[in-house]
Amino acid sequence: MKLPHVQLSKLDISWEVIGSVPEELIHRHKVFPYKKEGKNIFLAMVDPLDFIALDEITLATGLQVIPALTTEAELNTVINRYLGFSQELVAAINQFETEENLLYKFTFDFDRLHHENDTPIIQAVNGIIEQAVVRGASDIHIEPHEEGIKVRFRIDGLLQEIFTLPCKVHSPLASRLKLMAKMDIAERRKPQDGRIQIKIGGRKVDLRVSSLPTIFGEKLVIRILDQEQKLRQISQLGFSEKQLKIFSKLLSFPYGMILVTGPTGSGKTTTLYAALNELHTVEKNIITIEDPVEYVFDQINQVQVNPKAGVDFAKGLRSILRQDPDIIMVGEIRDRETAQIAVRAATTGHLVLSTLHTNNAAGALTRLVDMGVESFLVASSVVGIVAQRLVRKVCPHCREEYEPDKNSPERLFLGPEYYRLPFTLIRGAGCVNCNFTGYKGRTAIQEVLIVESEERDFLLEKADAETIQEAAVKKGMITMRADGLEKALKGITTVQEVMRVTINL
Q: Cβ contacts of residue 423 below 8 Å, gap of 6+? A: 403, 404
**Could you give the 3-state DSSP secondary structure of residue 165?**
strand
Examine the pLDDT at 133 and tell me if it is beyond 90: no
What whole-number distance in Å separates Cα of residue 169 and Cα of residue 218? 12
For residues 430 and 254, which has the higher predicted lDDT (pLDDT)? 254
Residue 439: count of CB within 10 angstroms of its CB: 24
Band of the pLDDT at 143, cuts 50, 70, 90? very high
Residue range 435-443: average pLDDT? 87
Report pLDDT digits (tens) over 441-494: 999 999 999 999 999 999 999 899 999 999 999 999 999 999 999 999 999 999
Between the CA of residue 325 and those of 8, 126, 217, 237, 288, what are the distances in Å?
59, 42, 47, 26, 10
Give how far the C-alpha of residue 230 lies from the chain's centroid of Cα atoms, to the nearest Å: 16
pLDDT value, residue 422: 80
Report pLDDT digits (tens) over 264-317: 889 999 999 999 999 998 899 999 999 888 788 878 999 988 887 888 899 999
Contact criterion met (CB below 8 Å) for 190 and 200: no
Angle between helices 336-346 and 313-321 (to 10 degrees): 20
Residue range 347-355: average pLDDT? 95
Amino acid (1-letter code) at residue 351:
L
Contact criterion met (CB below 8 Å) for 472 and 352: no
- Strands (DSSP E) contained in 227-290 are 256-261, 286-290
Examine the pLDDT at 231 and tell me if it is beyond 70: yes
Looking at the chain, the number of H-run helices and the number of E-run strands are 18, 18
Rounded to a whole number of angstroms, the CA Rg of the chain reads 27
Residue range 372-377: average pLDDT? 93
259: closest CA among 201, 182, 310, 328?
Answer: 328
- Percent of the chain's residues with pLDDT above 70: 90
Report pLDDT digits (tens) over 80-129: 667 765 455 555 565 554 333 344 333 344 444 444 455 677 778 888 88
Examine the pLDDT at 334 and tell me if it is beyond 50: yes
Residue range 60-69: average pLDDT? 91
Report pLDDT digits (tens) over 15-49: 678 878 887 888 888 899 999 888 899 999 999 88
0.85 cut: is pTM over it?
A: no
pLDDT averaged over every residue in the chain? 86
DSSP category for residue 57: H
Backbone angles phi, psi at 161, to 5 degrees: -75, 125
Backbone angles phi, psi at 469, to 5 degrees: -65, -45
pLDDT value, residue 104: 39
Report pLDDT digits (tens) over 298-312: 789 999 888 878 888
User: Angle at CA 278, nearest 5°, toward 273 and 282?
Assistant: 105
Report pLDDT digits (tens) over 145-203: 988 889 999 988 899 888 788 888 888 889 989 999 999 998 999 999 998 888 876 77
pLDDT value, residue 119: 67
- Percent of the chain's residues with pLDDT above 90: 53
pLDDT value, residue 105: 38
